[in-house]
Structure 1
Amino acid sequence: MARLYNFPTGLDGTGQSIAIIELGGGFILEDLRTYFSGIGIDPTPEVVDVGVLGASNTPGDEADGEVMLDIEVAGAIAPKAKIVVYFAPNTDQGFVRAITDAAHDTENKPSVISISWGSSESAWRQSAVNAMNSAIRDAVLLGVTVTVAAGDNGSDDGVGDGQSHVDFPASSPFALACGGTRLVGDGATISSEAVWNDGPSSATGGGVSDLFPVPSYQSDAKVPTSVSTPGFRGRGVPDVSGDADPVTGYNVRVDGQNTVVGGTSAVAPLWAGLIALLNQSLGKPVGFLNPLLYGSVAGKGAFHDITEGNNGAFSAGPGWDACTGLGSPDGAKILAALGATPAAAPATASARTAPPQGGPKPAGA
């Protein structure tokens, strides 16, 4: 995957720390050793767990697949980075606290946070949206990039009401929302790449937020008005994308078994690993990356523009679209563009009123 996306060579994440947020499950070190040795990475990347509000690394439930996927994808991209997994209760408070603890962790000092959990905006309480959005904003103010999976249930985000919805916290204007593609390639050559859509329950999330207005960095992205809230021009989701189709997806090891999985759950740690490489090369964190990606980086041809396919209500096309964002990465070109670009400061953004909340779930649930 790193070769197909032309990730910069000669970098391994040395000196970097990648935070991964988990709301259940756990990892087994022996599985990690087997997986990484099988792909030629020895020694195994350093993986540590941090408990939040009484939660801990507890392998043995259905969330193990999410945990192992996140660690294995990030570690394969940046094998010398420290991977810090923050285990929190699957509650509003637990989710927010995990992000806050990661961003302020003065011992492990992550420069990027990967989140593969979320729910449709329509499932969140207003207070939870505000708290989560503030936690992500605080992280980027500290120079920590936050990558978030855009969801795996197409343009209705699994709501089933005939309307279009996007996942939160991917829709936070301070998050780097990660959508999904179907990538076909060999070695370092991409044969084709289209929107990942295997059906309503197995397709990239994406669309227009009903809670957050369009941020300034998307002012030229031609984000459509909301389908659910006529006349409201909301934040477009996703920002970027990467391979998410289980057919062309990721070889992982979970609970002693080798398997192939996909989903935007894999794209968030993929981008987190790339960001760790960028931070290593630049000698400083890229921080709030969104304005740079929509500005100077996109202008340097640093994305594979996805123009084929749809996620239900939205179709891919030239430039930004509500299926794959700006496109999938050309890592070396992104690094070259960032090398001559000053860092961007986050703007203020708050959410509109949100309806009652259900529990966050892995992007693939």
Structure 2
Amino acid sequence: MANGKSTSPASQWVPLPGSNRQLLPQSVPIGPADLKATVALTVKVRSRGKLAELDDAVKKESAKPLKERTYISREELAQRYGADADDLDKVELYANKHHLRVADRDEATRRVVLKGTLEDALSAFHADVHMYQHASGPYRGRRGEILVPAELKDVVTGIFGFDTHPKHRAPRRLMGTSSGTATNLGEFASEFATRYQFPTSSSSTKLDGTGQCIALIELGGGYSNNDLKIFFSEAGVPMPKVVAVSIDHGANHPTPQGLADGEVMLDIEVAGVVAPGAKLAVYFAPNSDSGFQDAIRAAVHDGARKPSVVSISWGEPDDFLTAQSVQSYHEIFTEAAALGVTVCAASGDHGVADLDALHWDKRIHVNHPSSDPLVLCCGGTQIDKNVDVVWNDGTPFDPQVFGGGGWASGGGISPVFGVPDYQKGLPMPSSLSTSQPGRGCPDIAMTADNYRTRVHGVDGPSGGTSAVTPLMACLVARLNQAFEKNLGFVNPLLYANAQAFTDITQGTNGINQTIEGYPAGKGWDACTGLGAPIGTVLLQALGK
């Protein structure tokens, strides 16, 4: 244990399975962590039901056509697979003995949030915690396993919050790369919805997301209502209903020079233009593993706003995560699938590197959470002479330029997840890093370039796969509205209807003069997945 030692016998402590953590590459120790610093630990406990049964139910339902699918309610999910109050009580009682207070506890999400000093947290749960310097800045890092008391070894399944390293996020792009009809301000996302033939009506009903709630996950930054009003007025669409939801004390907090504001505004402006009838719930959480999980979990379980689709533009390489984190996220996505909630996530903006030039460790990566098989992974294209090709601006990595260059559609073969059923039988490449098969990313792709946005009072072009993600979420919302039924875990439906996509056959997601990537080609590829969706064809295909 860092910063002090326990006086308890070693036999009373056991390693928490899956908690072993490696430091971020290129981390340099800079000293002890502040023992008096306030920390918030999210402690996840076991389910009262058998999660394997929920996995089987999701797998069974996802194999059915949409019209035959059934979903469970949030109340039923909590009743059958939530936590036992006794387990939460055990954690709370133990925490109180170590001067940690309970900031939140919830049976449905099986978690207890504990707050106190780092010293008390390390007394309760042993971990090696120090301060480290990284290209992204100083952070409190944890390495090795977490030790838990033997009395809780069968109760606790995950502990998150010791480590504060931020989730990777690409800065807002300041210029477009398309050679088509781009203007210097970019195109409103509605133009791209038209390009990909998003359905506009069904049985005389206007499809604009009415009755749907789109959840946007944000790990920092904020939005300006004044900028949004001006933007939507310029776009000629009504101002959508936008509500900020605070998670773990995260908040809508725009700042004059905040890069994260560009991400938040991009998400809202894309979603609001393409699905103006939908409610947009923006979940703000701290930029950490525990904050990220809590935000996604809160959106999935939100019984008040009831999101039908979740859009996630943030992430990091999946091989950076601990096994307990991978499992914890996967359980959230399993719950989403059982509830009929679609989860869309960005494939990343730096090709097979996944990380930007400043943070890259010279290795090939696949982005998470989009690499989870229960998530719809959204890659990018760019429009070249009115033809979609792989999004790649052709620049090499250069840490000396803003953003570092090397902008390209993320994608590849995951070293963490195996090949899911819906991808079996596809002629997929082996991983460039491990030479092994695995979950292939992305699943779909649309233009990642030249989206008109308004940030900090200025209109201009932005982009990235983090623009594709809310765009795809809007297509899901329109289809949900058309069918009066949630698509839910949509990946098997999409792979079963590959004819509803325009195949992308040109380009690569390697970084010029830096690293070789995967080439586009006939059928599924690790740059653009199945290709670009044809919305009206999907509407017809999924309705059968």
Partner of 1:122: 319
**Does 1:7 find its partner at 2:198?**
yes
CA contact (8 A) 1:163 1:227 kept: no
The 3-state SS of whatever aligns with 1:211 is coil
Matched, 1:78 2:268: no
Q: Structure 2 counterpart of 1:167, which letter?
A: N
SS in 2 for 1:265: helix
State whether structure 2 residue 531 is matched by structure 1 residue 333.
no
Q: Which amino acid aligns with 1:183?
A: I
Give 1:122 shift: 2.9
Secondary structure, aligned partner of 1:179: strand
- Corresponding residue to 2:247 among 46, 52, 55: 52
1:238 equivalent to 2:442? Answer yes
Matches of 2:354 and 2:241, distance apart in 1: 34
Mapped contact 2:503–2:530 kept (Cα < 8 A): yes
Which residue of structure 2 lines up, in the alignment, with residue 87 of structure 1?
284
Q: For residue 302 of structure 2, what is the amino acid of its counterpart?
A: D
CA distance in 2, matches of 1:129, 1:314: 25
Counterpart secondary structure, 2:240: coil
The answer on 1:227 being equivalent to 2:432 is yes
Q: Which residue of 2 aligns with 1:252?
A: 453
Give aligned pairs, total: 327
**1: CA distance, partners of 2:501 / 2:280:** 26
Amino acid at match of 1:83: L
Matched, 1:305 2:503: yes
Question: TM-score w.r.t. structure 1 length?
Answer: 0.87
SS at match of 2:348: coil
Cα deviation for residue 202 of structure 1 reads 0.4
2:478 maps to which of 255, 272, 277: 277
1:210 aligns with 2:415: yes
Q: 2:297 aligns with which of 100, 111, 129?
A: 100
CA drift at 1:184:
4.6
For 1:154 and 1:97, how far apart are their aligned partners in 2?
Answer: 28
Give per-residue Cα distances to partners, 1:188-218, cap 9 Å, x unaligned: xxx2110011135201100000000000000
Aligned to 1:241, the other structure's residue is in SS state strand
| Alignment equivalent of 1:166, drawn from 348, 366, 385 | 366
Letter in 2 for 1:139: A
8 Å contact from structure 2 (residues 309, 476) kept in 1: yes
Question: Once the 2 structures are TM-superposed, how far is the Cα of residue 161 of structure 1 from its aligned partner?
Answer: 4.6
Contact 2:283 2:295 in 1 (8 A): yes
Using the alignment, how far apart are the partners of 2:479 and 2:542 within structure 1?
9
Amino acid at match of 2:463: G
Letter of the 1:15 counterpart:
G
Whole-Å separation in 1 of the counterparts to 2:362 and 2:292: 29
Q: CA deviation at 1:228?
A: 1.9
**Paired residue for 1:148, among 313, 325, 345?**
345
Q: Provide, for residues 137-176 of structure 1, a one-character-per-residue CA deviation record: whole Å limited to 9, x for no partner.
A: 2112210000000000111212645442110111000000
User: Quick one: which amino acid aligns to residue 505 of structure 2?
Assistant: T
Aligned equivalents of 2:345, 2:222: Cα separation in 1? 19
Q: Distance in 1 between matches of 2:332 and 2:193?
A: 30
Aligned to 1:311, the other structure's residue is in SS state coil
Match of 1:32 in 2: 228
Runs of 4+ in 1 over 3 A off after TM superposition: 159-163
Unaligned runs of 5+ in 1: 186-190, 341-365
Which residue identity lines up with residue 269 of structure 1 in the other structure? P
**CA displacement at 1:96 relative to structure 2:** 0.7
Give the deviation of 1:40 after TM superposition: 0.6
Q: CA RMSD in A?
A: 1.2
Letter of the 2:391 partner, please give it: W
Amino acid at match of 2:425: D
Letter matched to residue 209 of structure 2: G
CA distance in 2, matches of 1:224, 1:134: 28
Query: Does structure 1 conserve the Cα–Cα contact (< 8 Å) formed by 2:319 and 2:416?
Result: no
1:260 alignment partner, SS class: strand
Calculate the TM-score normalised by the size of structure 2.
0.59
